[in-house]
Amino acid sequence: MKNYLKLVNFELNRFFKIYLVLISLTVISQITGTIIESKSYVSLANTAIHKNLVPLEQFIEDNQPMGLMRLLTSGWFLIPIALAAAALLFYSFFIWYRDWFGKNTFIYRLLLLPTARLNLFFSKLSAIFLMVLGLVATQLILLPIENTLVKWLVPSEFRIDLSIRDSITFSSASSFLNLILPHSFIQFLINYGVGVLFLAVLFTIILFERSFHFKGILLGSLFGIAAMVLFFSPYLIESALNYYYLYPAELFILEVILGIAIVGISIWISSYLLNKKVTV
């Protein structure tokens, strides 16, 4: 356990500077966007009502009231989240390939450490998962701040005050936002459990390629396709037969079992590849 924790800390430190940039970009963009969008809305309202003599009710009807829900669909809010997601997705590949390429093949030093090689797999998986949780936590902290800023900057007659959860639910970007900010703990386990499954399968595909090179690309691709087909097999079977045998609760339990099985198979294959096929 001690060696595993050291490896996790090592992986986090290697990406820490870029990670801080991602967090800083998210904070600066969203706070700046909240201020600019709020002031722009108030300026637009003042111009329309006081200069163009548009009735307040008509202005609200034409422009919709200001609120956090309006901000959640702006580029100020969504672009830094998309950039952070893309960066972590890229790093899911880079976290392995960086160790093989460069002036020194650092992977060989890692493989010679006095610890189980599978700890390398778990440490890299844990590092990415912790960074994702860190970004989610940052977003959860920012949302109340942004909501408060809107209330400070926009007069109540131009504003709609919804809870943060309702703002997310009624936003046009609700599907995306509910994916990263689930509305319940169970949904959190589902969304991020699928994320862990994806990373486990991806890491196994990468290890196939690192173990067998060009042949490994084919083997890894076949494994990825097989994992995807297995995970969605209940839906595929019911769709093909055009008959729904399972109740939603039964389907959910089956998907959980399949997901755990796929993660288990990925870990087992990755352990085999790291111990038997990746040599120093």
- Residues 245 and 126: their CA atoms lie apart, in Å, by 37
**Percent residues over pLDDT 70 in the chain:** 96
- State both tokens at 230: 């297995």
Question: What token pair was written down for 7?
Answer: 């490896």
pLDDT higher than 70, residue 235 = yes
Q: Answer yes or no: is pLDDT of 261 > 80.
A: yes
- Determine the distance from the C-alpha atom of residue 170 to the mean position of all C-alpha atoms in its chain, rounded to a whole number: 21
Give the mean model confidence (pLDDT) for residues 175-196. 87
Residue 102 has pLDDT above 60, yes or no: no
The pLDDT of residue 279: 62
Which has more pLDDT, 213 or 149? 149
Query: What pLDDT is attached to residue 106?
Result: 67
Adjacent-strand bridge partners of 159: 66
3-state secondary structure of 201: helix
Q: What is the largest CA-CA distance in the chain?
A: 78
pLDDT of residue 103: 52
Token pair, residue 245, equals 């045998």
**pLDDT recorded at residue 61:** 78
When the pLDDT of each residue in the chain is averaged and rounded to a whole number, the result is 86
Instruction: Point out the least confidently predicted range of 17-31, 163-177, 181-195, 244-258.
Output: 163-177
* pLDDT classification of 280: cutoffs 50, 70, 90: low
Query: Strand, helix or coil at 245?
Result: coil
Burial class (CB in 10 A: 0-12, 13-18, 19+), 280: exposed
**Which of the pair, 111 or 102, is modelled with greater confidence?**
111
Evaluate if residue 105 carries a pLDDT over 70.
no
Among the listed residues 38, 277, 12, the one whose alpha carbon sits nearest the alpha carbon of residue 153: 38
Is pLDDT above 90 for 199?
A: yes
Indicate the residue type of 23. Answer: I
For the residues 105-127, what does the mean pLDDT come to? 79
pLDDT at position 225: 95
Q: Select the more confidently predicted residue: 151 or 98.
A: 151
pLDDT tens digits, 55-95: 878 878 778 888 888 888 888 898 999 999 999 988 888 88
Of 53-57, 75-79, 121-125, 202-206, the least confident: 53-57
